[in-house]
Amino acid sequence: MAGVYKLEITETEADLKQLLRTQKTASDKERIQLLYLLKSAQASTVESAAALHGRHRVIVQKWLRRYRSGGLEVLLGHKPRTGRRQSLPQWAQEALNKRLHQPEGFESYGEICQWLETQLGISAPYKTVHQLVRYRLQASPQVARPLIVAAADGRVEASKQTR
């Protein structure tokens, strides 16, 4: 009979139910649920299991092929998603973060760009440096400005006279 699966699911229904509760991602839950449907005989064919899931039959067959080849580890295994590489290497970010926390600091983001160019040999656009410093390192290039001593003394004397 076409569509009848020939797969021995080694986990029990209770184990699959417990695994279903502990999964973090929706895709993993969906795959465990497929095994649960087949183990509990709620779906007798691959096509009926696919219809219950709202997936195409070929996708469900791929999942079952992965389970057959290596069990749950292969079925739930995912390729690491690396994403785009950062424009500044990690060592440069650490050096910049260390320099940002020194008392002399930087005057502006432009000065940070120049420092990266001269000291570390890394050319980085202003926008990249701004986003890195402001959002990822959560720092600011601004150094504390000294107060004008004469103006501060004048305010202190004025406040003493009004009391």
**Percent of the chain scoring above 90 in pLDDT:** 36
pLDDT reported for residue 140: 84
Give the tens place of pLDDT for each residue, 12-32: 889 989 988 998 889 899 999
Average pLDDT over the chain, rounded to an integer: 84
Tell me how far apart the alpha carbons of residues 95 and 98 are, in angstroms, rounded to a whole number.
5
Tell me how far apart the alpha carbons of residues 7 and 61 are, in angstroms, rounded to a whole number.
11
Give the tens place of pLDDT for each residue, 32-56: 999 999 888 888 888 999 999 899 9
Q: What pLDDT band is residue 59 in, cutting at 50, 70 and 90?
A: very high
pTM of the predicted protein model? 0.51
Cβ 113 vs Cβ 129: under 8 Å: yes
